[in-house]
Structure 1
Amino acid sequence: MHIGILQTGHAPDALIESTGDFGVLFQKLLANQGLTFTVYSVVDMEFPDGPEAADGWLITGSKHGAYEDHPFIPPLEDLIRAIYAADRPLVGICFGHQIIAQALGGKVEKFDSGWAVGRQVYDWQGQPVTLNAWHQDQIVAKPDDATVCATNEFCEYAALIYGKKAFTVQAHPEFDSTFIDLLATHRGPGVVPDVQLAAVKDGLDKPNDNALLAARIGQFFRERSIA
């Protein structure tokens, strides 16, 4: 099964050199899921010809806001709606989670309670799931088609499932401890409060559920289900 990765931003240069850009991170995360990949740098206006260019699609994270005025956002929203109408499985992570919701009738805002960074525990249909997060924006109104499958006190719509069409997650299963540590060092100071950056460092040696999410993403692409 061939997956088109729609890359909507770039990691800081220092991270690209050591861990790879966002598209590479997802290829590493999903390396055992029997998938092949093509990366389209949509943030640089590199778009596929249409939904049929891949069997399924994944939209990455980004430093940009879904509600901001960037040249790539309107055509990306058009492509999201085309993928949805064409019934190709669609996965979105962080910004991808948000832009899919926005394109399908939801609302995204900069959250007035601040940032979620580092290890976050979510109630995933009654089970605790721990993932790294890095966001201030979040979905504040979900599309009618979306059902909540994960939540916590900070992020009400932490993961959404749109029937058999789309599966989206606010957190970052592609961020391992090395990447989140480097991100806190290179993109955190002056942006994220120091106390939260210190908490990121304190949580680096603790376990997460990245492998579980990789399996669920792979299952959704193959079976249109995360059950």
Structure 2
Amino acid sequence: MKIGILAAGITPDVLQVNYPSYADMFVQQLTYIEPTLAFEIYDVRLDEFPQSAASCDGWLITGSKCNSYDDDPWILRLCDFIREIDSNKQTLVGICFGHQIIARALGGTVIKSPAGWGVGVHHYQVTSDIPTLPGATDIAFCAFHQDQVIEKPKKLNVFLRSDFCEFAGFIYQDRILTFQGHPEFSKEYESDLVELYAGVTLTPEIADKARITIKEENIQNKQLMSWIAHFLKNKPQSSDM
């Protein structure tokens, strides 16, 4: 099965010596979990788009430092492409920016949140079943965002929430799965990202709090990445009927 990765962002330059790009993080981790998946990467920031949604069997949109509510030509084109994927009833996964842009494209609202930056390890309440974490009511994984969805599309159901982020995870049947946080991030990468932006975009207080959570909290990123791999592998069986 061929999965198209719509790369909306890239690992900061100074971290590329030790870490892969965001798109390659997914390729490496998902291939390890599910070797039958093949990937094609499209740098949509540079207006590199597939000919059509039919070019791949399923799709994944990465995180980005860009704002999903902006009207840059490539962002508007990505919204159109998301709607094409949805119309085709193909599988679609969105991470952080991907979560937000999918919500926007399907009728939701995204803003720069007055709650400020959410970084470090965040805990989320699980409001519907996660197949790779049966029975879980609380999960934790890395987050790094300031923007948030404040109005969800009608068709998407919430499966993760927290006091900081009301709409932290969306799902629609077996076709759309999104996370505001970053299940692809290791704690090592999250730590280096915090150090990179501490005192720049992150206040000392926010950075210190993030450091504590990274040191003390366990994360369930492996189970979430396993869910993403299986979600992408399985062709949708449901319809909108």
Which category describes the TM-score, using the shorter chain as reference length?
over 0.9
1:177 to 187, 190, 194: 187
CA root-mean-square deviation: 1.5
Q: TM-score, normalised by structure 2?
A: 0.89
Q: Deviations over 1:12-61 (max 9, x none)?
A: 10112210111111123312123221111101111111111111100000
Pairing 1:1-227 to 2, within 5 Å after superposition: 1-30=1-30, 31-34=32-35, 35-125=37-127, 127-205=137-215, 206-223=217-234, 224=236
- Find runs of 4+ consecutive structure 1 residues off by over 4 angstroms: none
Aligned residue pairs, count: 225
Name the SS for the 2:170 alignment partner: strand
Q: TM-score, normalised by structure 1?
A: 0.94
Q: Deviations over 1:70-94 (max 9, x none)?
A: 2310110111000111111000000
Q: Deviations over 1:91-132 (max 9, x none)?
A: 000000000000000000011111110100001126111010
Q: Quick check: 1:77–1:99 contact (8 Å CA) kept in 2?
A: yes
Identity of aligned residues (%): 37
Q: Name the CA distance, whole Å, in 1 between partners of 2:28 and 2:15.
A: 15
Q: Name the CA distance, whole Å, in 1 between partners of 2:112 and 2:194.
A: 19
Q: Name the CA distance, whole Å, in 2 between partners of 1:128 and 1:187.
A: 28
Q: Name the CA distance, whole Å, in 2 between partners of 1:73 and 1:216.
A: 27
Q: Quick check: 1:8–1:59 contact (8 Å CA) kept in 2?
A: yes
Gaps of 5+ in 1: none
- The amino acid that maps onto 1:143 is P
In the other structure, the counterpart of 2:133 is none
Q: Name the CA distance, whole Å, in 1 between partners of 2:126 and 2:143.
A: 15
Q: Name the CA distance, whole Å, in 2 between partners of 1:189 and 1:91.
A: 32
